[in-house]
């Protein structure tokens, strides 16, 4: 079975732009969670999607949004980028609940200049 895939792997943007990141979960997995990793804040939960519905949300501003499609693929969008949004964005999938074993993708490294 193929693992979790994320595209693109690397991205450079400038302040004020917006960005869309994509995540394809393991086949058959329906829960997709997003995390942001920075040296200062560590790994922080962004949101979780299940059956095209946001099931849980972390403490991030409204500039961070996401969605899930009927095939369980998920996208996250960050609008009006700030320097502090530079981070590794990780996507994780699990069968049904994020309380189950979570499998992470390789991440997207975003640099905001």
- Residues of this chain, 17-36, that bind other proteins according to CB under 8 A: 31, 33, 35
Instruction: Annotate each residue in 38-57 with x if it binds other proteins (CB under 8 A) or - if it does not, as one string.
Output: ----xxxx--x------xx-
Number of residues that bind other proteins (CB under 8 A): 26
Per-residue H/E/C for the chain: CCCCEEECCEEEECCCCCEEEEEECCCCCCEEEEEEEECCCEEEEEEEEECCEEEEECCCCCCEEEEECCCCCEEEEECCCCHHHCEEEEEEEECCCCCCCCEECCCEEEEEC
18 or 67: whose CB is closer to other proteins?
A: 67
Binding to other proteins by CB under 8 A, coded x per residue (else -) over 51-90, reads ----xx-x-----------------------------x-x
- Residues lying near other proteins in the complex (CB under 8 A) are found at 31, 33, 35, 37, 42-45, 48, 55-56, 58, 88, 90, 92, 97-104, 106-107, 109
């Amino acid at each position: 079975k193929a693992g979790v895939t994320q595209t693109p792997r690397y991205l450079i943007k400038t302040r004020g732009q917006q960005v869309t990141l994509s995540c394809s979960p393991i086949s058959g997995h329906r829960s997709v969670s997003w995390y942001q990793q920075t040296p200062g804040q560590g790994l922080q939960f962004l949101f979780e999607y299940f059956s095209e519905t946001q099931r849980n949300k972390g403490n991030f501003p409204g500039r961070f949004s996401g969605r899930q499609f009927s095939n369980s693929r998920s996208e996250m969008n960050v609008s009006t980028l700030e320097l502090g949004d530079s981070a590794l964005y990780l996507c994780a999938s699990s069968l049904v609940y994020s309380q189950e074993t979570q499998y992470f993708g390789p991440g997207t490294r975003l640099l905001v200049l």
